[in-house]
Amino acid sequence: MGRKAHTTRDGRNGRTPHKKHTVKRGAQPPADDSRRERVQRRASDAAPAGRMAYATCTGVRHAPPRLSLTIPPDRLDAATWDQIESALALPCMVHLAVMPDAHAGYDLCIGGVALLDGHISPSFVGYDIGCGMCHVNTGLPVDEVLPDEAARQLLFDRLRLAIPVGTATRAPGEYDLPRFTSASGDAQLADAVNTRQSIQLATLGGGNHFIEVGVNKRGEIGVTVHSGSRRSGWDIGAWYMKQGRLFPLDSRLGRAYRQDMDWALDYALLNRRLMLEHALRALADVHRQLARTTHKRPARPAKPAGATGDTDLNGHTVPPHATASPAPATSAAFPPSTSPTSPPSSHGFATPPAALTQPPLSEQEISLLLGRMINKNHNHAVVQSQAGPSGAPLVLHRKGATPADAGQPGIIPANQRDGVYVTEGLGNAEYLSSASHGAGRRMSRNEAQRSISLERFRSQMRGIICRADKGVLDEAPDAYKPITEVLAAQDGVLVRIIDHFRPLVVLKG
């Protein structure tokens, strides 16, 4: 699954050799915090670059690096500002863009896009290397395939059987991947990855990862998968973060991290693609069962509609996986499903539909859909072909941010109530041709568990087949920023919104 560098970016700030800086995390400065005032002065003194240039400044070595904010400074909290300032202090920082869903993370804030001169940073990519979204518009009509709650409950149950979630894994032997060898030469890291890589392939994980089946205004069904490189990517990221905050690109650790990161990017994409394949088969199974209830011979389908898109980091189609997927595995340890609308269905369809006009997806049609899926990875680093001030290549890091080159299709999910938005990138270089990766959290997980009532969560999810219990309360819609505000900050500037899928079925860990 080859990748090439994104379109080059302009870095104009001179830099002296890098020196180590302390990572500052989670500090709570007073209201008159001088660091925040300093960056806000940069915003007010900068020449405007369109309606979003709240903070832009350029200069040589002794001037601040370039900073571009997509939202007004006062909409970022103190912990996020602390991480922005820490990143800007790096001598190799050329340009930092902050997306509208930004919030504090580890080292670089989530929603940060950093262009570094000749250096690569594991902590600017994050632990879940290659985490991202895959989406496909099936073109299937919802009123034929998922016409009622019974059909949607059946799909939810099929997805639970097909795709392990949370800490559940697949049985040994279901997938057999080649052994991983770390470019670092560390045998313990290689052993840790090899212990889990095969049994965690085509598994969802927990947290904010999800599989969502939704419908757009045209009545077409879309399927979205959000997941990453699982524990294998976490182990790789954690090992390199222990070695240092960032490495010169041409150093031994810099070369090794880049190679191991690329492996994790490929693993994450394969993980999502296989889950999407399982999800499409589950959808076909439900459609097939519904077709049998009509006692009608379905006609041949029209060509599936929907957005076409890239399937790797830079917009290139990934060919179908060479080997067929094994039969789905039952996911043990998944909590009992709950529907906010009614008790679980016996899968008898309440109102059989009229004669179907499209048959269930065939294996060939599933392969075609997978070839047209949109893939958007939001934790990665890409070495540019353009040299920075030092003469070394520039390295573009995205952490919780997605590529948005001109014409590039993308995915921005909201929360599990408000669905998924399909976008087209506008290639805005002021913001390093990037966009948000979602709505962004406004509450920590602990805060959400403390402050959001289960009754409110279930009320918000009414009409959607999903898990709505205390175990996933930290994923309630109220835990996230309002998607309307996040989209308003980038629609027409970073991306153009071209479609929206309202959720019908949501699977989480």
DSSP string over 283-304: HHHHHHHHHHHHT--PPPPPPP
**pLDDT score of 383:** 98
The whole-angstrom separation of Cα 353 and Cα 153 is: 17
DSSP 8-class letter at 204: -
Nearest to 309 by CA among 224, 371, 382, 367: 371
**pLDDT score of 336:** 39
**pLDDT score of 292:** 83
**Can you list the pairs that 452-457 forms with residues at least 24 positions away whose Cβ atoms lie under 8 Å?**
452/476, 452/478, 452/479
Terminal CA-to-CA distance of the chain, rounded, Å? 28
**pLDDT score of 293:** 77
Mean pLDDT by 10 residues, the chain (509 residues): 34 31 33 48 39 33 75 94 96 96 95 97 97 97 96 97 96 96 98 98 96 98 98 98 96 98 98 98 95 58 42 36 34 38 44 65 97 96 95 97 97 96 98 96 94 96 96 95 96 97 95
**pLDDT score of 103:** 94
> From the CA atom positions of the chain, what is the Rg in Å?
23
The whole-angstrom separation of Cα 437 and Cα 377 is: 9
Are the CB atoms for 496 and 423 separated by under 8 Å? Answer: yes
The whole-angstrom separation of Cα 80 and Cα 446 is: 18
DSSP 8-class letter at 199: T
The amino acid sitting at 135 is H
The whole-angstrom separation of Cα 246 and Cα 253 is: 9
The whole-angstrom separation of Cα 213 and Cα 156 is: 9
Residues with Cβ within 8 Å of residue 348, at least 6 apart in sequence: 150
Question: How large is the angle between the packed helices 252-294 and 363-371, nearest 10 degrees?
Answer: 140
